[in-house]
Amino acid sequence: MTRPVAVAIAAPIEPDLVAVIREIGDRIKVVYRPELLPPTRYPGDHRGIDGFQRSAEQEIRWQASLAGAEVLLGIPGDSPEGLATVVHGLPTLRWVQGTAAGAGEQLKAAALTKAELNRITITSASGVHAGPLAEFCLFGLLAMSKGLPRMHADQLAHHWDHYPVAELRGHTLLVLGLGAVGTEVARLAKALGMHTLGLNRHGSSDSPDIDEAHPATSLEELLPRADAVVVTLPLTEETAGMLDARAFARMKPATLLVNVGRGGVIDEVALVDALRDHRVAGAVLDVFASEPLPKDSPLWDMPNVVVSPHTTALSQHENERIVALFIKNLRRYLEGKELINRIDPQLFY
């Protein structure tokens, strides 16, 4: 008789969701020791409070709970160091399901050996956060087009005036990155009457909400056409600094910019200059090159910038969606099928 696959849960999730995983049956053996995980700061927190440490006795129990695991749900501490530790210490480990869309960056930072990369499959939670992130992107476009910063300033000053505001309908949106987030952004934008341009490596999309799909090499041609740009890209050698001074110079002066991908895709010094010179009308940013955003960053105090502390992907429903993805992937794993969101160990996304 085939032995059940040992599944260890290394991220805090709700007990009822653990029960749903166990419903897969006797093909798996699930181990979950929530009392050995760091206390959470909010629903869906997978890192836990700062400074958490197990006692010597708890560490022994923790290691015992992981021993023999073939599958891991969550990366301990949601960190590259936690990933490296379990990969180094668990020779039986074959697959880790990350809880973040950026698990590829964690994998890269873990600096695993070639042999370890060949042994372990890492899958990300890409797509789980598409809904909340896309909503935030539309919030950003609406906030800036309707003049929210001016409204807020006038409210604080008790100032009353009449003036026209812009519309999104009939305007052109350029979406950089056509994964789950980018295509959901396009769907919502189409509902508001926008014309949607999409850009990815291959220049193609199956989404009916992308009016035109173009390859990354067409960026300079597309920027002058766009009234708004939404960034959903991962940070790679190809995307680092993609929106630089040259790119901002190609944009319309009234362009709106939203970034929910990775901060390093944008040259922040060039962005600040473009915002000051009104070559970019406004920016709504959830991600930054350095996080937390340094206290001396000019972005904090710019009137045409909205700063979000990399929090807009978080949702009270996040764990439900992660577990649903994990169960789908676990069934595929048990059947020997290719896993969803498998991270390329060469490209790290």
117 token code pair = 């990369």
Where in the sequence numbering do the catalytic residues fall? 262, 291, 310
289 token code pair = 């090159």
CB count, 10 Å around CB of 114? 8
One fold for 5-127+315-334 and 130-307: yes
Domain 5-127+315-334 belongs in CATH node 3.40.50.720 = yes
Q: Closest Cα to residue 258, out of 167, 105, 143?
A: 143
Please report, for the chain, the start and end positions of each structural domain, with discontinuous segments joined by +: 5-127+315-334, 130-307
- Kindly list the distances between the CA atom of residue 216 and the CA atoms of 146, 176, 209, 346, in Å, as whole numbers in the listed order: 30, 9, 19, 20
Segment 4-26 shows an average pLDDT of 97
pLDDT tens per residue across span 53-108: 999 999 999 999 999 999 999 999 999 999 999 999 999 999 999 999 989 999 99
Q: Which amino acid is at 231?
A: V
Confidence at residue 1, expressed as pLDDT on a 0 to 100 scale: 47
CB count, 10 Å around CB of 33? 15
What band does 2 get if pLDDT is binned at 50, 70 and 90?
confident
pLDDT tens per residue across span 202-218: 999 999 999 999 999 99
pLDDT tens per residue across span 294-326: 999 999 999 999 999 999 999 999 999 999 999
Mean pLDDT of the chain: 96
Residue 336 scores a pLDDT above 60: yes
Give the C-alpha separation, 194 to 203, whole Å.
20
pLDDT tens per residue across span 162-183: 999 999 999 999 999 999 999 9
pLDDT tens per residue across span 109-159: 999 999 999 999 999 999 999 999 999 999 999 999 999 999 999 999 999
Q: Which amino acid is at 28?
A: I
Note the pTM of the prediction, 2 decimals: 0.91
335 token code pair = 């059947």
Domain 130-307 belongs in CATH node 3.40.50.720 = yes
Confidence at residue 347, expressed as pLDDT on a 0 to 100 scale: 87
Segment 222-241 shows an average pLDDT of 96
Percent of the chain with pLDDT over 90: 96
Give the C-alpha separation, 14 to 123, whole Å.
21
* Torsion angle of the four alpha carbons 331, 333, 339, 340, in this order, in degrees rounded to the nearest 10: 20
237 token code pair = 């050698």
